[in-house]
Each structure stands twice: as C-alpha cells, then as structure tokens.
Amino acid sequence: MSSGTMMVTVVGWAATTPREVVGDGVPFTSFRVASTPRYFDGRQGAWADGRTEWVTVKAFRDVAFNVAASVHKGDPVLVHGRLQTQEWQSETGPRTSLVVEAVALGHDLTRGTARFARRVNVSGQQPGEGSGEGSGDGGEGVPPLSPEEVLGGADQGDGPGSGDETDPWATPADAHLQEAPAMTP
C-alpha cells in the first residue's frame, strides 16, 4: 500500500445491481452504494436524514465474482477500501465521482442476517471454467456443500467434542498446519 492511499469504510445500501465485467483484462464488478447518515435533530425532537453520498465500488479478480454472486440491489453493505476520484467526460462536460476499490466487503449484519458459503478457487480457474462438463459444480471448481456437510453432521451428534475434530473449512493449502495438542488441567 502506498503512503498516499486513503482507506475508507462506507456503510450504506447497494443502490444498483452489481455489474460483472470479465472481458480481456482483469475481471471486475462495480456497483453504486448510497450512504445516508442519520442524526437526532434536537430542535425537532426526531431523527433526520443527512445528505446522501454516492460512491462507486469496484472489486477485482476473485472478489469480483463473489460480489456479483452475493450482493443485490437494496442490500445493506459495508465496504472498506482505497478511496479515489475518477474523472470522466459526459455530454454536459467534465465530471468527477468517488470510487472505492474494495479490499473488504460484506453485508451489514446490523440490518439483518446472512449466510456464508466458502468458495475455493481451484488452480486459478475462473467461474465457468469448471473441471469438466456436467461436473455439477456450478463452474466454481468445487461443488457447494450441504448444511450437513458444513456442520460435519452435528445433527447426528458427531460434530465438535464427539471425537471428530476435522475442520470443515480446511483447504489443501492448510494441510501443513498441525493442531497443537490439547492442554489438560
């Protein structure tokens, strides 16, 4: 990260449907976020809305695919990233807009609930480049797990604490890690 980089966190609502662009270069997804601060107006004795700020969010590479599959217009979101200005020409003359290049992005859980599904990128494949036709993996390289597979059969009593201490989120890159032995009192 360069010393001139301004990092910001934007809390708001996805104002547009994320647009996925793969093309010839680096894949990216962009969408607009509207952020309206609320404050208590003591003179009126009620909550009031401040001025709505609009920013364009851009996410690149694997994050772009995850955003396109997860964020929808109207979703509450948190975006953390590099703030930049983008200058461009419109029919009415030069324009400037704020752009946040996302480093971290997710749903705002103060506004509702969400479900997470880990996505593993196998050997650098892009979505749609599955390991073969008819693989049933949705083009993501790894088939999605059912809730029972993710929980390790917790409903059947063979989850954590029952002798089966495998990590359902472990990836092949984690194979070199070993768990420290449990300390007994």
pLDDT tens column, 51-108: 999 999 999 988 898 999 999 999 999 999 999 999 989 999 999 999 999 999 999 9
Chosen CATH of 6-107 out of 3.30.365.10, 2.40.50.140, 2.60.40.1230, 2.40.128.20: 2.40.50.140
Rounded-to-integer distance, Cα 48 and Cα 149, Å: 46
- This prediction has a pTM of 0.61
* Cα–chain center distance at 144: 17
Rounded-to-integer distance, Cα 57 and Cα 84, Å: 10
pLDDT tens column, 3-33: 678 999 999 999 999 998 876 788 899 999 9
Rounded-to-integer distance, Cα 43 and Cα 141, Å: 58
pLDDT tens column, 26-42: 889 999 999 999 999 99
Beta bridge partners of 93: 90
Rounded-to-integer distance, Cα 56 and Cα 33, Å: 6
Tokens encoding 55:
């920013």
In which residue ranges of the chain is CATH 2.40.50.140 found?
A: 6-107
Beta bridge partners of 20: 29
What kind and span of H or E run contains 69? helix 62-70
Tokens encoding 143:
């088939």
Place of tokens 């772009």: 64
CA distances from 151 to 17, 40, 154, 158, 160 (A): 32, 43, 5, 9, 9
